[in-house]
């Protein structure tokens, strides 16, 4: 006859073995997901691709005066895993620093955004904010005569389209890649991510030789858990988006640049 103690020991050993096997399967699945860079299976990147178009209205405007003025938005709820930031102006240049604060002296994401005309080309970006609390800090580093308008929200967030999620191409460290658009492309989606390494990049919107309309300098400590997604307006003709991987060669990234909205009725004729 088996004693009660022996039966309990056998059950405990079986449960421990089953848990170990299950843990190994989960670990292998996560590793394969990370190495294959399967965007849709990342638990922190569950974007709704149906909501992929921008809303030009500023729902909750906050004016940030120039001269190094700082404004912050705090999100303490652990259910807030992504935040949308919109920056615009009344037609003047826009120059700002955006940071995510996560605990004391911990800045997992920061960027500098320069726009020649904030009203004509507003800036939309979505930041991943896993593990609360998180704080979005926006500093207007432009002159005091150049205020900007910020809108930060965690609901009805703009998300990438299915085309954007399936159009990644690698950019090695120190390399660059350019994307030219037809005149009827009014806005473009940009997504950058890595396999878990830090992400350092510069995004430029050019219109003509050495004519920068938008410049974004970006740093993220983990490009897999917190990929970068933004939408840039590309009106008129001759728009080219240039992405430079400013990291060393050991830190590649993958980028996707696709059209967001198009208007064929406003396409200007090209004279040959």
Phi/psi for 53 (5° steps) reads -120, 145
Which helix or strand (DSSP H or E) is residue 231 part of?
Answer: strand 228-233
Tens of each residue's pLDDT in the chain, 272 residues:
455 445 444 444 444 433 333 333 333 333 333 333 333 333 334 444 434 445 555 566 899 998 999 999 999 888 898 999 999 999 999 999 999 999 888 999 999 999 999 999 999 999 999 887 899 999 999 999 999 999 999 888 888 999 999 999 999 999 999 999 888 899 999 999 999 999 999 999 999 888 899 999 999 999 999 999 999 999 888 899 999 999 999 999 999 999 998 876 655 554 44
List CB contacts of 25: < 8 A, sequence separation 6 or more: none
In sequence order, the β-bridge partners of residue 114 are 95, 215
Contact 178, 242 (CB under 8 A): yes
Q: Note the pTM of the prediction, 2 decimals.
A: 0.75
Reading the block at residue 217, the tokens are 């300098």
Could you tell me which of 162, 133, 132 has the C-alpha nearest to residue 258?
162
Residue 170's pLDDT is 96
């Amino acid at each position: 006859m088996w004693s009660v103690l022996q039966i309990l020991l056998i059950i405990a050993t079986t449960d421990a073995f089953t848990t170990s096997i299950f843990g190994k399967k989960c670990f292998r699945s996560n590793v394969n997901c990370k190495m294959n860079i399967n965007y849709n299976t990342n638990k922190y990147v569950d974007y709704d691709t149906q909501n992929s178009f921008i809303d030009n209205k500023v729902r909750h405007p906050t004016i940030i005066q120039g001269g190094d003025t700082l404004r912050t938005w705090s999100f303490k709820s652990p259910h807030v895993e992504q935040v949308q930031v919109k920056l615009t102006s009344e037609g003047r240049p826009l120059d700002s620093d955006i940071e995510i604060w996560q605990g004391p002296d911990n800045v997992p994401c920061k960027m500098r955004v320069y726009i020649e005309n904030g009203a004509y080309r507003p800036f939309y970006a979505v930041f991943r904010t896993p593990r609360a609390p998180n704080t979005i800090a926006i500093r207007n580093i432009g002159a005091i005569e150049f205020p900007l308008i910020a809108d930060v929200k965690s609901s009805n967030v703009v998300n990438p389209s299915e085309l954007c999620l399936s159009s990644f191409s690698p950019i090695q460290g120190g390399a660059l890649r350019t994307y030219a658009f037809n005149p009827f492309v009014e806005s473009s989606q940009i997504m950058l991510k890595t396999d878990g390494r830090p992400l350092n990049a510069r995004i430029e919107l050019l219109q003509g030789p050495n004519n920068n309309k938008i410049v974004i300098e970006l740093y993220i400590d983990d490009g897999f858990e917190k990929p970068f997604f933004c939408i840039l307006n590309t009106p008129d003709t001759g728009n080219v988006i240039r992405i430079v991987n400013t990291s060393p060669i050991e830190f590649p990234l993958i980028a996707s640049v696709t059209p967001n909205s198009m208007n064929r009725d406003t396409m200007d004729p090209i004279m040959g």
